[in-house]
Amino acid sequence: MLPHLIVLGAPGSGKGTQALKLVDTLGYKHVSTGDLLRAEIKNGSELGQKVSSIIARGDLVGDEIVLELLKKNCEVTKYSYIFDGFPRNAVQAAMLEDHLLKGTRKLAVYFKLDLEMLLQRIVNRRSCPSCGEIFNLQSKKPKKDDTCDKCGAQGLVHRKDDNEDVVKNRLDVFRENNEPLLAYYKNASVMAELDASKNEKDVFESLKNLLQ
Ligand code: AMP
C-alpha cells in the first residue's frame, strides 16, 4: 500500500490539482475537507447551514466538526489517501494521527510558494462542476470557453470564497497556523517539501520522486 499523503500549503499552492493527478496515475483516494464542507452546504444539511457563513468569511470551521466529517468519509485501512485541506493547524495534525493514521505509513509534503503569487492564482481559479479539474484563467485556460477540457462539462465554477477580500483572510489564517503545523511533521520526521512555483508537470515529477 502506498503511504498516506498529507498535502500542506497555502490555498492556491496547487495541492488539489496535483492530488487529482495522483488519483489518476497511482490510484490514490483524494479527500478534501473543503470539498466535503461545500457538499454539505449544497445539500442544505444542518452541518452545511452551520458552517456556510464561516467558510464565506474564510475562517476555519471548528476542528472537531471537520474531524468527524473526515472520519465519515475515509477508510484508511483499505485505501491510500491524499489528505487535502486537513490538517490546517497543529491541533488537527494531532487529531489526524490519533484518530486515523496511528501506525500507518505517511508522508507530509509542503507545497512551498511565495504568498505574493497566490492572490492572482486564486482569484483566477475555476473548477469543473463535474470532475473537479482545476483551471486558471491566466495560466491554465480551458481550451473552449467555460468548458472542461477533461470531461466536457459546461459552466466552470468560481468559488465564492475565491474573491480578493476573502482570499486575503484565508491567507492570514494560513500564515498564522502554518509554522506550528510544519513543525509537527518535522518533529515526526515525515516531512518533505517541494517548490510549488514550478509548472504543473514539474511539480508532479517532484511529488512522484518524493513518493518513491
Ligand atoms: P479549501 O477548499 O481547503 O480551501 O477550504 C475552504 C474552506 O473550508 C476553508 O477556508 C475553511 O473555512 C473550511 N475548511 C476546509 N478544511 C478545513 C479544516 N481542516 N479545518 C477548518 N476549516 C476547514
Asked if residue 54 has its Cβ within 6 Å of ligand 1, the reply is yes
**Please, are residues 141 and 47 in contact by the beta-carbon 8 Å criterion?**
no
Nearest protein CA to atom 14 of ligand 1, as residue? 34
Residue 198 CA from chain centroid, whole number:
18
Distance 178 CA to ligand 1 centre (A): 14
Which among 86, 88, 170, 173 has a CA at the least distance from the CA of 121?
A: 170
What distance in Å separates the CA atoms of residue 172 and residue 166, rounded to the nearest whole number? 10
pLDDT tens digits, one per residue of 75-98: 999 999 999 999 999 999 999 999
Residue 63 confidence (pLDDT): 98
Q: pTM for the whole thing?
A: 0.94
Q: What is the mean pLDDT of residues 184-188?
A: 97
Q: Is 159 a catalytic residue?
A: yes
